[in-house]
Structures are given as structure tokens and as C-alpha cells.
Amino acid sequence: MLNWRNSPLYDETQRLVIEYAEAVTRDARAVGEGLFERLRSAFSDEQIVELTFIIGLWSLTNRFNQALHIEVEEAMERALAAMR
């Protein structure tokens, strides 16, 4: 998603979510008040909490997989094969 800011595939709300996800992932303490104001104009406090939780959960999952050298695609293929 290198060019998500200018991609016609995303609407303004989706771009806001991606921007927030990137900011939280880079340095959660540095998320600016301006970004929070834009989030508040699009989402309720409960939705922002849930969004932040999901971003944090995926960040944890990615770091966990990277530390253990787990390739997600391979793990998914094994899990799907086990379900068959």
C-alpha cells in the first residue's frame, strides 16, 4: 500500500484509518491531536478504541511471526490443509 494516499481504491474514511494505523505502528506516542480530531469526526470513541485495539493486535501478531520466522502464507496453507 505504498500509494494509498492517492489511490482511487480507498475513500476518505479508509485513508484516515490507514493513516492512523501507520501512525500507531510507527510511534503510538507521537499520534497528533489533529489526527485524533479527524478520527473523532468520523468515528465514535468506542469505534476508535476498537480500531486501536485491532491495529495493536495486528502489530503484535506481525512482530510475533517475524520473531519466530513464521511465514504467514505458509502457516495459512497448513491451517487450511488441516481443515480439509
Residues 36-80 pLDDT 10s? 999 999 999 999 999 999 999 999 988 898 899 888 777 777 877
Alpha-carbon gap, residue 11 to 78, rounded angstroms: 35
pLDDT value of residue 24 = 95
pLDDT value of residue 1 = 60
pLDDT value of residue 42 = 97
Q: What angle (nearest 5°) sits at the alpha carbon of residue 17, between those of residues 65 and 79?
A: 30
